[in-house]
Structure 1
Amino acid sequence: MQVQNPHSIKYNGTVQGLKYIWRTEGFRGLFKGNGTNCARIVPNSAVKFFSYEQASKGILYLYQQQTGNEDAQLTPLLRLGAGACAGIIAMSATYPMDMVRGRLTVQTDSSPFQYRGMFHALSTVLRQEGPRALYKGWLPSVIGVIPYVGLNFAVYESLKDWLIKNKQFGFAEDSELSVTTRLACGAAAGTVGQTVAYPLDVIRRRMQMVGWKDAASVVTGDGRNKAPLEYTGMIDAFRKTVRHEGFGALYKGLVPNSVKVVPSIAIAFVTYEVVKDILGVEIRISD
Structure 2
Amino acid sequence: MTELLTTQDHVLLFIKRDSTASFISGGLAGAISRTVVSPFERAKILFQVQGPGQANYNGMFKTIWQMWKDEGTKGLFRGNALNCIRIFPYSAVQFYVYQKLKFQFLQNSNNKELGNFQRLFSGGIAGTLSVAVTYPLDLVRTRLSIQTANLSKLSKSKAENLIKPPGFWELLKNIYKNEGGFWSLYRGIWPTTLGVAPYVAINFAVYEQLKELVPNSSATTKLFLGAIAGGVAQTLTYPFDLLRRRFQVLTMGQNELGFKYKSVSDALITIFKTEGFFGAYKGLTANLFKVIPSMAVSWWSYELIKTALIEL
Please tell me the TM-score bracket, short chain as reference: 0.7 to 0.9
TM-score (normalised: structure 2) = 0.77
- Counting only pairs closer than 5 Å after superposition, residues 117-132 of structure 1 correspond to structure 2 as 117-129=167-179, 130-132=181-183
- Deviation >4 Å, runs of 4+: none
Aligned to 1:21: 67
Secondary structure of the corresponding residue to residue 55 of structure 2: coil
- Counting only pairs closer than 5 Å after superposition, residues 1-287 of structure 1 correspond to structure 2 as 1-62=47-108, 64=109, 70-71=110-111, 73-108=113-148, 110=155, 111=158, 112-113=161-162, 115-129=165-179, 130-164=181-215, 176-213=216-253, 218=257, 220=258, 229-280=259-310
1:254 shift after superposition: 1.1
Instruction: After superposition, give the CA deviation of every residue in 1:13-38 in whole Å (9 maximum; x if it has no partner).
Output: 11221222222222222221112101
CA distance in 2, matches of 1:82, 1:57: 10
CA distance in 1, matches of 2:278, 2:244: 16
Q: Which runs of 5+ in 2 are unaligned?
A: 1-46, 150-154
Flag the structure with more relative contact order, 1 or 2, with Cα contacts below 8 A and sequence separation at least 6.
2
- The 3 A distance-change label for structure 1 pair 179 and 72 is closer
1:260 shift after superposition: 1.1
- The 3 A distance-change label for structure 1 pair 90 and 277 is same
TM-score (normalised: structure 1) = 0.83
Task: Determine if contact 1:126/1:133 at 8 Å carries over to the other structure.
Answer: yes
Q: Which runs of 5+ in 1 are unaligned?
A: 65-69, 165-175, 221-228, 283-287
Task: Determine if contact 1:2/1:252 at 8 Å carries over to the other structure.
Answer: yes
The percent identity for this pair of structures is: 40
Task: Determine if contact 2:124/2:198 at 8 Å carries over to the other structure.
Answer: yes
1:281 shift after superposition: 5.5
Amino acid at match of 1:192: V
Indicate the structure with greater helix content.
2
Instruction: After superposition, give the CA deviation of every residue in 1:222-244 in whole Å (9 maximum; x if it has no partner).
Output: xxxxxxx3211111111111111
Q: Over aligned residue pairs, what C-alpha RMSD do you find?
A: 1.8
Task: Determine if contact 1:209/1:215 at 8 Å carries over to the other structure.
Answer: no
1:58 shift after superposition: 1.9
